[in-house]
Structure 1
Amino acid sequence: MADTSDAPETPKPRRTRTAKAAEPGAPAPARRRTTKAAEQPALVDRGAAWCVVGAGPHGLSALKALLQNGIDADGYERESDVGGNWNYGAENSRVYESTHLISSKPFTQFPDFPMPDSYPDYPSHRQVKEYFGRYADHFGLRRRITFGADVVHAVPVDGGARWDVTVRSGGVETTYRYAGLVVGNGHNWNPKMPEYAGLDEFAGQVIHSADYKGAAVLRGKRVLVVGAGNTGCDVAVESAQNAAHTFHSTRRGYYYNPKFTLGRPSDQVADSLLAMRLPLPVRRALFGTTLKLVVGDITKFGLQKPDHKFFETHPIVNQQLVYYVGHGDITPKRDIDHFDAAGAVFADGSRADVDLVVFCTGYLVTFPFLEHQWLNWQGDHPQLFLQMFTPAYDNLIVSGLIQPDSGQWTLAHWQGILAARVAEALALKPQVAHRFLARANAEAGRRFSAGTEYKESTRHYFEVAHQEYLQALQDAIHELEESA
């Protein structure tokens, strides 16, 4: 849980001043660097340009949208290439050797840049990384991105009208002054490690899935996988194929959705039901019938009965876990009560002696270069208008703080478009932007759940029903365009 005890009080909301729009395609000025002996970073004023942090899908789409709307912009990426979390092998990438998409190609790709026809329904991480590279090349984004550049601090200046962004590259820090800031560096990189009694006494190896890269670490061992998200299920299946034995601990029961239903990717079948505007209870009944036919009664395999209805948790897309449970290669276990030197004791009193524990327990939302109050932090997470806009500053925008029930990059595209429309309005018609963003206080934290009550957990803070959220983004874009 993020510690906000030392955070200063939330300042009175500040509104940005009118800035002159940049000429489309205007080159960035030469960037000065300081010497290591300098006390203060050099300051480079970028005028009306905006800063975009991150070159994953959300950073790339935001940078593209800004540039296409005639707004000068610079991107910063701490790794050596584009891709964000999908840049396999990079220090902060969290994908592993066997990672594939869990949403199918047409529901995942950018709407203005389709994936190649040669890609399968569920592309691998290597294909995804290649796709992002092609996207960056096609839209000429690489020349606007500084790679190997870590944003270490960002602070509002001029009464909130602009942002000073300090970047460390090659051990040298430089501060750039921007008209606005788009934060698109993701929220699935800072591992959340659980606390259990006795864990310090455990004599085996403990890792988080953030550091899991492939099956080599599993081979020949007795493995305990903790967590039933998509990563936890993937790692448990991979462990079943390589380890001496696998135990899988979950707090509750879940629905395990197949990747294919009726010969089609299951998310495409689900979206067909949405297009028919079937009521939620009807869709739940249809999903329940389908799972009974395809998977069966999971309690007969020793798996826990779900304590919630369909769509109340983020969907788990894995049709192999039940298969390996049925073959005895995975032993389902309840939540952990405590550890001892040899292994884990579970809530039902059973135990498992293991050599390796893999915690697939998710990630903490972290923006280390921003103060919490600037993002309207409530408890251990920000609460934003449209999951993007803070009540504190009109020219501070977040892209990517979402966990959709379908593919994400279509939403990334439209978040980028909305960010560009707001930046454009701030520069040319600030009264339009201020009127739109004045709703940030009242609507911060609004959930886009399509009538579903999500289970309370950090995993669901940013869960959105993609069809409702997409409509909200489009409505906001139309509102700004009609007011311009």
Structure 2
Amino acid sequence: MFSFSSQPDFCGRRCVWVNGPVIVGAGPSGLAVSACLKEQCIPFVVIERADCIASLWQKRTYDRLKLHLPKKFCQLPKLPFPEEYPEYPSKKQFINYLENYAQKFDIKPQFNECVQSAKYDEACQLWRVVTVSTTGSTRTETEYICQMLVVATGENAEGIVPEIDGLQDFSGEVIHAKDYKSGEKYTGKKVLVVGCGNSGMELSLDLSNHNAKPSMVVRSSVHILPREIMGKSTFDLAMMLMKWLPLWLVDKLLLILTWFILGDTQKMGIKRPSLGPLQLKNQHGKTPVLDIGALEKIRSGEITVVPGIKRFNTNSVELVNGETVEIDSVVLATGYRSNVPYWLQESEFFGKNGFPKTPFPNGWKGKRGLYASGFTRRGLAGASADAVRIAKDIGKVWNEELSQKKKRVHTHRRCISTF
């Protein structure tokens, strides 16, 4: 699959030549690409900074998390979910599925290696990927040299911590949603949840279920849809309707049905955007919230909706409407971002935001053997579609080069024979 040089180079790092592509990231996106390449018998190396596959799911998600969409939209290529799994698998079930996936396709990442830089060497026409070992006290550098590079670190590599006036002066606990596990330790406490996306809604619900007193900051407009409509997944229904109707009309129908099921969210302090939920997702990548019980808690007053934050004080928060609320803890459900700009030295394909500049569905392939998997803002289904396209393209290149090598060997043999 790959070979180590017998001696370190002049920088004191190991050099590794990889026959096939280097895949950065062993989350669902990286695993999906690996499985598709494995099926074609194409060698590859997967580099992962953590000590396990799918570290985001294993180490940076809350306990009650379940897949937001039905399992048929979340399975990776070549392996469906077990039939006995529920429609919305739990965090533990999804992790088990991913571990079985890696085992089935014999995917063995290089764990505890954090990519420091990846740069295309124009002179050699090769990618140079430099990593640092994240185990032990000794700093070990490795340089992987390859013709193809697959960026599979995903959209949610790093938590976003916004700069809010006075936050550093707040005396209580402040954590990001990625470090939240359960509301158990917050029983009886006043917790401010900053953010009203799927994470913010679910964490507020979890806190309420553990008898905490959550207040959720809703600074901007957001679409909240029921997870199911008439016993059918809202996402599934939308996909079905879009086969026959224009997107704007599907949005209208979804909002009418949502109004009948959930009522007028504006009365709860939650405004809806002017664009419809699907149009907003397509144009700006903003995912609608799928309600699994938080709205009922908001109606009953168990979750309080508050406007934007003006500043934090020692044990309270001042809101933009002039109100001051006493709080014990803060949970920042403020989203995630790509970390690609920190290590990939390339600006033609990837933008400053860490996403491909080319819009969906063509943002999976750059130039010089560069690929991106899992940056579609379309969840696991988007990552799976990327993986299939990437593996097919790499397979085509791989087979063409193999064919050319065979021709050169055959020509060389003929020349020797003639001589």
Does the TM-score normalized on the shorter chain lie above 0.5? Answer: yes
Distance in 2, matches of 1:174 and 1:197, equals 42
Q: Residue 257 of structure 2 aligns with which residue?
A: 290
Partner of 1:373: 347
Q: Superposition pairs for residues 21-420 of structure 1, below 5 Å?
A: 27-29=1-3, 39-46=11-18, 48-86=19-57, 88-89=58-59, 94-142=60-108, 145-159=109-123, 161-169=125-133, 170=135, 171-275=139-243, 277-300=244-267, 302-311=268-277, 312=280, 313-367=286-340, 368-373=342-347, 375-378=349-352, 382-384=356-358, 386-390=362-366, 393-404=367-378, 408-420=379-391
Partner of 1:13: none
User: Is the 8 Å Cα contact of residues 32 and 44 (structure 1) preserved in structure 2?
Assistant: no
Q: Which amino acid aligns with 1:342?
A: N
Structure 1: give runs of 5+ residues left out of the alignment: 1-26, 431-484
Whole-angstrom distance in 2 between the partners of 1:378 and 1:287: 34
**Do the aligned partners of 1:121 and 1:265 also contact (CA within 8 Å) in 2?**
no
Q: Deviations over 1:197-236 (max 9, x none)?
A: 2222222221111221222342221011011111011111
C-alpha contact (below 8 Å) 1:190/1:364 kept by paired residues? yes
Hey, what does 2:404 align to over in structure 1? none
Aligned AA for 2:374?
G
Contact 1:343–1:352 (8 Å) recurs in 2: yes
Q: Is the contact between residue 247 and residue 352 of structure 1 (CA under 8 Å) also seen in structure 2?
A: no
**Structure 1 residue 422: Cα displacement:** 2.9
Q: 1:377 to 1:342 in 2, by over 3 A?
A: same
Q: Is contact 1:198–1:338 with CA below 8 Å preserved after alignment?
A: yes
Q: Report the number of matched residues.
A: 387
- Structure 2: unaligned runs, 5 residues or longer: 281-285, 402-419
Matched letter for residue 419 of structure 1: I
Question: Deviations 1:389-414 (Å, cap 9, x if unpaired)?
Answer: 34xx421111111212xxx3333222
Opposite residue 190 of structure 1, the aligned amino acid is: E
CA separation in 1, counterparts of 2:50 and 2:7? Answer: 19
2:254 & 2:118 partners in 1: Cα distance?
Answer: 46
CA distance in 2, matches of 1:318, 1:266: 11
In 2: Cα distance, 1:402 partner to 1:219 partner: 38
Contact map agreement 2:218 2:307 (CA 8 A) in 1:
yes
CA-to-aligned-CA distance 1:176-201 (integer Å, 9 cap, x gap): 21111101122313111112222222
Report the secondary structure of 1:357's partner residue.
strand
CA distance in 1, matches of 2:376, 2:201: 21
Letter in 1 for 2:28: P
CA RMSD of aligned residues (A): 2.4
Residue 342 of structure 1, CA deviation: 2.6
Counterparts of 2:381 and 2:372, CA distance in 1 = 16
Q: Counterpart of 1:166 in 2: which secondary structure?
A: strand
Distance 1:274 1:366, change over 3 A: same
| Contact 2:117–2:345 (8 Å) recurs in 1 | no
TM-score (norm 1): 0.74
**Residue 426 of structure 1, CA deviation:** 4.0
Please tell me whether Structure 1 or Structure 2 has the larger radius of gyration of its CA atoms.
2
TM superposition shift of 1:51: 0.6
Aligned equivalents of 1:332, 1:39: Cα separation in 2: 56
Q: Contact between 1:253 and 1:303, CA under 8 Å: does it hold in 2?
A: no
- Cα distance in 2 for partners of 1:382, 1:284 equals 27
Q: Provide the rounded CA distance (Å) in 2 between the counterparts of 1:110 and 1:379.
A: 26
- In the alignment, the residues of structure 1 paired with residue 232 and residue 106 of structure 2 have an alpha-carbon distance, to the nearest angstrom, of 35
2:365–2:390 contact (8 Å) kept in structure 1? no
Separation of aligned partners in 2, 1:372 and 1:354: 44
